[in-house]
A and B are shown apart, each in its own frame.
Chain A
Amino acid sequence: QQQVKQSPQSLIVQKGGISIINCAYENTAFDYFPWYQQFPGKGPALLIAIRPDVSEKKEGRFTISFNKSAKQFSLHIMDSQPGDSATYFCAAKKAAGNKLTFGGGTRVLVKP
């Protein structure tokens, strides 16, 4: 049972463009939603995170939009740069413990 669905699987964007990645979850017990960025040969690194009592969170060029009623959330990368080329994972966590349930990942390629 895939509890967090992520789309698209891959994305190509021109430098300066906007990258948009969408995630949907099923379990309403999730109440913390982080996004991770992973470069080849490295472990995932936390990019930005949101709780469901907030509809939007922005940190620099990265913005999370959250729609609790639709059980969907998305990552927007503004002014995409070649250095943003990486795989992005959405995740969800319940209140207890540290178990992260990950989406399938989106490979982003930013062309110069």
Chain B
Amino acid sequence: KAGVTQTPRYLIKTRGQQVTLSCSPISGHRSVSWYQQTPGQGLQFLFEYFSETQRNKGNFPGRFSGRQFSNSRSEMNVSTLELGDSALYLCASSLDAGHTDTQYFGPGTRLTVL
């Protein structure tokens, strides 16, 4: 089975621009979560989608948004980019068949804001 895939892997943007990142979960997985990883703040939860609905949201400004499609693929969007948005953005998927389901992470998208 193919793992979680994220595109693009690397992205360079300038301040004020917007960006869209894509995540394809493992086949059959219904839950997709997004995390931001930075050296200073570590791994922080952005949001979770299940059946095209946002089920959970972290403490990030409204510039960060996401959505999930009927095939469980997910996208996240960051508008009006700031230098501090430079980070590794990770997507994780799970079956969501039970509380202790394993979450599988993709390799991430490395976003650099100049």
Contacts from A to B (Cβ < 8 Å): 31-32, 34, 36, 41-46, 49, 51, 89, 93, 95, 97-105
Contacts and interface: CB of A to CB of B under 8 A. Distances in A.
A44 B56 contact: no
A112 to B, nearest CB: 27
Contacts of B106: 43
A99 B42 contact: no
A41 B107 contact: yes
A100 B55 CA distance: 13
Contact of B48 (A34, A99, A101, A102): A99
A99 B45 contact: yes
A46 B103 contact: yes
B90 A101 contact: no
* Most B-side CB within 10 Å, residue of A43, A46, A95, A102: A43
